[in-house]
Amino acid sequence: MADESKSYGLAWFLAGLGIGALVGILYAPKSGRETREDLANSAREGTEYLRTKTRQAAEEVSAFVDKSKEQVSALVDKSKEQMSEYVDRGRAQWEEFVERGKNLVAEQTGRVTAAVEAGREAYKSATTTE
C-alpha cells in the first residue's frame, strides 16, 4: 500500500514538473536564441568563477604550506639549539665529575703513600731498635 502511494506521488510530481516547464516555455519573455545565449553566457561566467576560486584556493594552500615549512624549520632550529645546550651542559657535568674523580684519586694516592711511608718508618724504627 505504501509503494502505491509513493508511485502516485512520484507521478504527480513528474506531471507537475512537466506542466511547469511547459508554462515556463510558453510565457518566456525571450526567444529561444536569446535564452540559449543567456545560458551559454551564464555557463561561461560560472566556469570563469570556478577558475578564479580554484586559483585563489591554490594560492592560499601554497601560502599555508610555505608558512608551515617556515614554522617547522624554526622548530627544528630551536630544537637543535636546545639539544646543543643539553649536550654542552652534559659535557660540563662530565668534565666536573672527571675532575672530582682525579682529585679523589690523587687524595687517596697521597693517603696511601703516607700510610706506606709511615709503615716503612715504623718498620725501620722497629728493626733498628732491636
Tens-binned pLDDT, residue by residue, of the chain (130 aa): 556 666 677 788 888 888 887 777 667 776 767 877 877 888 888 889 899 999 999 999 999 999 999 999 999 999 999 999 999 999 999 999 999 999 999 999 999 898 899 888 888 888 886 5
* E strands present in 24-65: none
d(CA 31, CA 28): 7
* Alpha carbon distance 103, 12 (integer Å): 103
Domain residue spans of the chain: 30-129
38 with 30: CB under 8 angstroms?
A: yes
**What is the pLDDT at residue 62?**
94
Cell of 77: 632550529
In one-letter notation, the amino acid at residue 95 is E
Cell matching residue 54: 580554484
| pLDDT computed for residue 43 by the predictor | 81
Q: Dihedral of CA 48/54/58/64: which sign? A: positive
- To the question of pTM greater than 0.85 for the whole model, the response is no
Q: Residue 125's pLDDT is what?
A: 86
Q: Which amino acid is at 124?
A: K
For residue 14, the 8-state DSSP code is: H
pLDDT at 3: 62
